[in-house]
Every structure is written in structure tokens, then in C-alpha cells.
Amino acid sequence: MARAVTTQRKIINTAAAWAVGLAIFFPILWTILTSFKTEAQAIADPPLFLGFDWTLENYSVVMERSDYAKYLWNSIIIAGGSTLLGIIIAVPAAWSMAFVPSKRTKDILMWMLSTKMLPAVGVLYPIYLLFIKLGILDSKIGLVIVLMLINLPIIVWMLYTYFKEIPGEILEAARMDGATLKEEVIYILTPMAIPGIASTILLNVILAWNEAFWTLNLTAAKAAPLTAFIASYSSPEGLFYAKLSAASTMAIAPILILGWFSQKQLVSGLTFGAVK
């Protein structure tokens, strides 16, 4: 594996990779930079990259004017709540599938995955109608339930994959060592499963945070999360670049940071273990 690479080759690689990386990242960088400009500087011709007066004004304006805190709170409740609820339901299911597999375990897993493939738009009206009937249209609890359901297959799959990786011999060793089932769960299984559960939570918070079909269609003023808040900037405020940028930065910053921690889990989580 380790082969001497000429320094020249390495410099070329580095330059090329950084150039491409920065190009891909540029829209985000540009948004962050613009959020610190005044509106005039934001549309200056030629565009200003760094030579402008940094200001935090946009952030305070956005927060005052648009009740940002309410949307943020809705996002946190919806993403966090749906993930937590999903985990509570999925842990026992994934657990039993991993440790007490039966002939049908595989079929059940595949079937769960297939529910994820149901196009949202195909069932939009029934859900809409049910929400009205149940009185949970434009409510946080309604979205928590829907997002929990659409992410449940991913949660079960990810947890199943992690639990499966706990070697059976370790559990047998614990039994030989005299651990009862309860002690086995407390001292061996839970500590070993926690990293997997944490990654699953992380990835699903991200997915729920960014979900933009149900959150747009099932909410109005009351339960709208950040996805809807940003969509409402479409016009005419969208032309105030600095404020749009400040709002956008605030909407994506928390998840961007979380996301960078979850890179590794992302691959196996989103491909249902088909690529590791």
C-alpha cells in the first residue's frame, strides 16, 4: 500500500483536489460571506470577496423580523422528536432481528426497506386528509409522526447492521462468565451498542432536519420548521441577499457541523449496508 510518491505528484494532487473541493464548497462559502455584508455590498458589482466591512446586522434583523427562534424550535422538536421516537421503536425490533433471527427476518427487513420507496406524492392527499380529520395538520406532533415513519426503515436497518457486528462469541463469553440475560444487556450489549445508536441518531436528525416535502406540505404558520421558513424567503425578501444569506447560514450551520461528524455512518446508513 504505502508506496513512495514523488513530492511533485503529491503537490499536483493536492492542488487539484483543493481546487475542486473549494469549487464545490463555494456556494456555501459565498452564502456565509454574504451574510456578513451590508445589502449594498452584497450586490456590489464587481462582487466583493473579502474586502468588505463585516457586520452582524443581518443576523439580528432576521431574528427580530421573522421569528427565527420559533422555526428553529420547530425544527429541533420535529427532527429530534421523530428521531427519538423512531429509535425507541426501532431498538427492540433491530435487537431481536439481530440476536434472535428467524427465517423471516430477512423478508421483514426487505419489506421495511420497500416502504421507504413509496413516493410521497402518491400518498400526499390521504395523509393530508387524515391529518385534517385527526386535527394534526400544521402541528409538530403530526410531523414528528410522519418523519418518524419515513425514517423508521433506515433506523431499523442501521441499528440492525450495528447490532449484527457485535460478535456472538462475546455474548457467549458473558454467559460463560455467569452473566444473566439482564446483566448481559447492561454490561455488555448496551455499552457495545451505544456508538452505533449514536451514529444512527445523528444521521436521522440530519435527514429529518432537511426533509422538505412533508414539512412544506403539512405545515403553515404554526408548526413550520426551518425548511419552510427558508422557502418563505423565496420572494420578495429573497432579493435581499445579505439577509437571505444570514437566514440560510443559520438554517444549515447546526446540521453542517453534525453532518461532518457523521460522514462514515452516512455511507452504510444511506445504502442500507450495500456499500461499506
Partner 1 sequence: MGRITLDKVTKSFGDVNVIPPLDLTINDGEFVVFVGPSGCGKSTLLRLIAGLEDVSSGQIRIDGEDATNLPPAKRKLAMVFQSYALYPHMSVRKNIAFPMKMAGVPEDEQKRRIEGAAKALNLTDYLDRRPGQLSGGQRQRVAIGRAIVREPSAFLFDEPLSNLDAALRVNMRLEISELHNQLKTTMIYVTHDQVEAMTMADKIVVLRAGHIEQVGSPLELYREPRNKFVAGFIGSPKMNFIEGPVAAQQGAHTIGIRPEHITASASDGMWSGIVGVAEHLGSDTFLHIHETGLAETMTVRVNGEFNLRHGDKVFLTPEMDKLHKFDAKGLRI
Partner 2 sequence: MATQHSRSAARLMMAPAVMLLLGWMLVPLIMTLYFSFKKYLPMRGGDLGWVGFENYARFVTSSAFWPSVYTTLVIVGGVLLITVVLGVFLAVLLNQPMWGQGVVRILVIAPFFVMPTVSALVWKNMFMDPNYGLLAHLWEFFGAQPVEWLSKASMTSIITIVSWQWLPFATLILLTAIQSLDSEQLEAAEMDGASAPKRFAYITLPHLGRAITVVILIQTIFLLSIFAEIFVTTGGAFGTKTLSYLIFQRVLESQNVGLGSAGGVYAIILANIVAIFLMRIVGKNLDA
What lies within 8 Å, CB to CB, of 200 at 6+ separation is 87, 155, 158, 159, 162, 265, 269
Q: How far is the CB of 64 from partner 2 (least distance, A)?
A: 20
CB of 193 to partner 1, least distance (A): 10
Q: Which residue has the cell 464548497?
A: 25
User: Which residues are within 8 A (CB) of 56 and not within 5 positions of it... i.e. 6 or more apart?
Assistant: 36
* 27 upstream amide cis, omega within 30 of 0: no
Residue nearer to partner 1 on the CB measure, 45 or 169: 169
d(CA 209, CA 220): 17
Q: Considering only residues 20, 88, 101, 177, which one is a binding residue for partner 1 as defined by CB under 8 A?
A: 177
The C-alpha cell that represents 6 in the structure block:
514523488
Q: Which does residue 135 touch among partner 1, partner 2, none (CB within 5 to 8 A, set by kind)?
A: none
Does residue 176 belong to the site contacting partner 1 (CB under 8 A)? Answer: yes
CA proximity to 228, closest of 143, 119, 110: 143
The grid coordinates listed for 102 are: 428467524
Picking from 62, 69, 67, the residue whose alpha carbon sits closest to that of residue 240 is 62
Give dist(CA 272, CA 157) in Å, integer.
6
Task: Name which of 57 and 238 has its Cβ closer to partner 2.
Answer: 238
Q: Which of 174, 202, 250, 255 binds partner 1 (CB under 8 A)?
A: 174
Site membership for partner 2, residue 38 (CB under 8 A): no
Binding partner of residue 188 among partner 1, partner 2, none, CB cut-off 5 to 8 Å per kind = partner 1
Q: What is the CA radius of gyration of the chain?
A: 23
Among 8, 64, 69, 126, binds partner 2 (CB under 8 A): 126
Residue 95, C-beta contacts closer than 8 angstroms, at least 6 positions apart: 159, 163
Site for partner 1 in 35-94 (CB under 8 A): none
Q: Does 183 bind partner 1 (CB under 8 A)?
A: yes
Q: Which of partner 1, partner 2, none binds 131 (CB below 5-8 Å, type-dependent)?
A: none
Alpha carbons within 13 A on the beta-carbon side of 198: 10
Q: Pick the piece of the chain touching partner 1 (CB under 8 A) from 31-39, 120-128, 150-158, 167-175.
A: 167-175
Q: What is the grid cell recorded at 228?
A: 419552510
What is the maximal distance between C-alpha atoms in the chain? 75
What is the x/- site pattern for partner 1, positions 116-155, by CB under 8 A?
A: ----------------------------------------
- Contact partner at residue 269 from partner 2, partner 1, none, CB < 5 to 8 Å by partner kind: none
Pick what 17 binds: partner 1, partner 2, none; C-beta below 5 to 8 Å, kind-dependent: partner 2
Q: Where do contacts with partner 1 occur on this chain (CB under 8 A)?
A: 167, 169-170, 172-180, 183, 187-188, 191-192
